Chain A
């Protein structure tokens, strides 16, 4: 199924993860997945299947609305189960949240600076910002603009660019295509692909747009009602009749 056995050690490993909201509604019922170094893995599934909850459990962003009730998260061999978000960011795991959470009252420049919050090597921040402008030239044009006034696509670019400023080892991308016009969806995916190649960053990607995601990913998991029901290489998943019917609209690529 997966080609992980012949690959490197897993950078991220999730074992029988369970999570609940406010200790009442259990959303995850034992999720198992892993992401190897340098890989791009897609987590696919319908609305409410538990994709976002999985990412939030891993990144510590679940705190405040829910909690992990069972299982483990390992980052780079270290047991990071239940760590708050700031400890995960300083360990190189950055979560780009669904819904483009930029700082609406700060300028684009200040947003990018904040992305580098956990960095110790402050002298390299300006250079890295130039790197981000390489991927997203639009951001450079709008450097002084308050982020709240950017368009949806620009905010998504800013959210990804800001995450890059942390020099992450692994990026969790939640629905980068949500609410964007088709042209922009393609643009964002192209840039993510380019980033992946050039920055040597590992990716865990959550998407409803399964077709797009599987073009980008090496492997994928399908999550349904809080458990992984299917996993395999991107190619295997593209050919899988279950996935094709439900998530790819039955159209052959």
Chain B
């Protein structure tokens, strides 16, 4: 039974990272109907930038983390300004292709600068297991979970209570209406990319601290995808729940399937299988909005 609880808690903790990263994905989709296939690469580059800052500036992981968020925001604004704004009136498919291109460029940069070997953050927290009573969890997972919660609650409040949050919700609700009241859409898109870059970088730094850094971190983009689809593509709440579900499925599936079959690596496949089954039953995802119809 302890085995089960261990996997479950691990799943929730890993899932919270998925939820956070998926938030960026959903946001860009809501604002501009673009599927951002560079999300995983943003996560990867965020982790590497943070690592570089830690070693170059000697400011510790938390300080470097905050600085990374700033740099990632700047990068997001540059991507919007230099690449995406030129694609403003292009077909959505072309923009999606461009995001794939951005991803390839970022991955190449990482390979060029840091190489394919696994790098590690300096150990900055004493990795003692915390006893939750029924299960013991590594303290780094607790940190990661709390960080994810803070980010998601922060963005939740931002969307609900700030003027800029309202503008972003408005643009997501109707681009045409947003233009007609005078919203410059490119600014909303830029902001969506900034948020996406921030949550990705946060996910990257957390994952990097847990498992080390390789260019393979970019695969997170694909691993988050089941959460995004399961959540309904355009529902932030749905994606948050779906992220945790996917994390749990991955851990439980991985753990038990390995025991039963003797094959490792089934954990990563399990969410996709569950995803296919769920989408048979509910094609719009868990909480994907059906369009509000005019009466």
Q: Which residues of A are at the interface with B, using a C-beta cutoff of 8 A?
A: 59-61, 63-64, 84-86, 88-90, 94-97, 100-106, 110, 113-115, 117-118, 146, 148-152, 155, 162-163, 166
The answer to whether A102 and B184 have CB atoms under 8 Å apart is no
The segment from B2-10, B117-125, B166-174 found at the interface with A is: B166-174
Using Cβ atoms and an 8 Å threshold, which residues of chain B touch A117? 167, 181-183
Known: A148-B293, A149-B292. A95 touches B173 (CB 8 A): no
- Output the residue of A61, A86, A102, A162 with the most chain B CB within 10 A: A86
The answer to whether A114 and B166 have CB atoms under 8 Å apart is yes
- Pick the contact of A148 from B88, B176, B294 — CB < 8 Å? B294
Q: Which residue of B lies closest to A91 (CB)?
A: B182
Q: Which residue of A lies closest to B182 (CB)?
A: A89
Tell me the smallest distance from the CB of B91 to a CB of chain A, in Å.
Answer: 11
- Pick the contact of A114 from B89, B170, B184, B294 — CB < 8 Å? B170
Known: A104-B173, A105-B172. A61 touches B292 (CB 8 A): no
Known: A63-B89, A114-B167. A102 touches B174 (CB 8 A): yes
Using Cβ atoms and an 8 Å threshold, which residues of chain B touch A59? 180
Q: Which residues of B are at the interface with A, using a C-beta cutoff of 8 A?
A: 88-89, 166-167, 169-170, 172-174, 176-184, 289, 291-295
Give the docked Cα–Cα distance between A113 and B162 (Å): 12
Using Cβ atoms and an 8 Å threshold, which residues of chain B touch A60? 179
Q: Which residue of A lies closest to B179 (CB)?
A: A85
Using Cβ atoms and an 8 Å threshold, which residues of chain B touch A86? 179, 182-184
Given A64-B88, A146-B292, A166-B182, 7 more A-B residue pairs with CB atoms under 8 Å apart are A105-B172, A105-B292, A110-B166, A110-B170, A117-B183, A152-B294, A166-B181
Known: A63-B89, A64-B89, A148-B293. A103 touches B173 (CB 8 A): yes
Known: A104-B292, A105-B292. A84 touches B184 (CB 8 A): yes
- Pick the contact of A103 from B170, B293, B294 — CB < 8 Å? B170
Q: Is the interface of B mostly helix, strand, loop or mixed?
A: loop
The answer to whether B294 and A162 have CB atoms under 8 Å apart is no
Give the docked Cα–Cα distance between A102 and B47 (Å): 41
Using Cβ atoms and an 8 Å threshold, which residues of chain A touch B176? 61, 97, 101
The answer to whether B181 and A89 have CB atoms under 8 Å apart is yes
The answer to whether B170 and A85 have CB atoms under 8 Å apart is no
Using Cβ atoms and an 8 Å threshold, which residues of chain A touch B181? 89, 94, 114-115, 117-118, 162-163, 166
- Pick the contact of A104 from B174, B180, B183 — CB < 8 Å? B174
Using Cβ atoms and an 8 Å threshold, which residues of chain A touch B291? 104
Using Cβ atoms and an 8 Å threshold, which residues of chain B touch A151? 295
Q: Can you list 7 A-B pairs with a CB-CB distance of less than 8 A?
A: A59-B180, A60-B179, A89-B182, A103-B174, A106-B166, A114-B177, A114-B183
The answer to whether B183 and A101 have CB atoms under 8 Å apart is no
Tell me the smallest distance from the CB of A98 to a CB of chain B, in Å.
Answer: 11
Known: A105-B169, A105-B173, A110-B166. A118 touches B182 (CB 8 A): yes
Tell me the smallest distance from the CB of B294 to a CB of chain A, in Å.
Answer: 6
The answer to whether B177 and A101 have CB atoms under 8 Å apart is yes
- Output the residue of A64, A117, A166 with the most chain B CB within 10 A: A117
Q: Which residue of A lies closest to B166 (CB)?
A: A110
Using Cβ atoms and an 8 Å threshold, which residues of chain B touch A90? 182
Tell me the smallest distance from the CB of A41 to a CB of chain B, in Å.
Answer: 20
Q: Which residue of B lies closest to A154 (CB)?
A: B295
Using Cβ atoms and an 8 Å threshold, which residues of chain B touch A110? 166, 169-170
Using Cβ atoms and an 8 Å threshold, which residues of chain A touch B173? 103-106
Known: A113-B166, A114-B167. A103 touches B177 (CB 8 A): yes
Q: Which residue of B lies closest to A101 (CB)?
A: B177
Give the docked Cα–Cα distance between A115 and B182 (Å): 8
Give the docked Cα–Cα distance between A163 and B181 (Å): 7
Tell me the smallest distance from the CB of B246 to a CB of chain A, in Å.
Answer: 26
Q: Which residue of B lies closest to A96 (CB)?
A: B180
Tell me the smallest distance from the CB of B75 to a CB of chain A, in Å.
Answer: 25
Using Cβ atoms and an 8 Å threshold, which residues of chain A touch B170? 103, 106, 110, 114
Using Cβ atoms and an 8 Å threshold, which residues of chain A touch B292? 104-105, 146, 148-149
The answer to whether A97 and B180 have CB atoms under 8 Å apart is yes
Give the docked Cα–Cα distance between A142 and B176 (Å): 23
Give the docked Cα–Cα distance between A132 and B38 (Å): 45
Give the docked Cα–Cα distance between A103 and B180 (Å): 11
Give the docked Cα–Cα distance between A148 and B295 (Å): 8
Q: Which residue of A lies closest to B163 (CB)?
A: A113
Give the docked Cα–Cα distance between A146 and B293 (Å): 11
Tell me the smallest distance from the CB of A133 to a CB of chain B, in Å.
Answer: 18
Q: Which residue of B lies closest to A84 (CB)?
A: B184
Using Cβ atoms and an 8 Å threshold, which residues of chain B touch A166? 181-182
Give the docked Cα–Cα distance between A114 and B89 (Å): 23
Give the docked Cα–Cα distance between A89 and B183 (Å): 9
Q: Which residue of B lies closest to A99 (CB)?
A: B176
Using Cβ atoms and an 8 Å threshold, which residues of chain B touch A89? 180-182
The answer to whether B180 and A152 have CB atoms under 8 Å apart is no
Tell me the smallest distance from the CB of A237 to a CB of chain B, in Å.
Answer: 29
The answer to whether A61 and B180 have CB atoms under 8 Å apart is yes
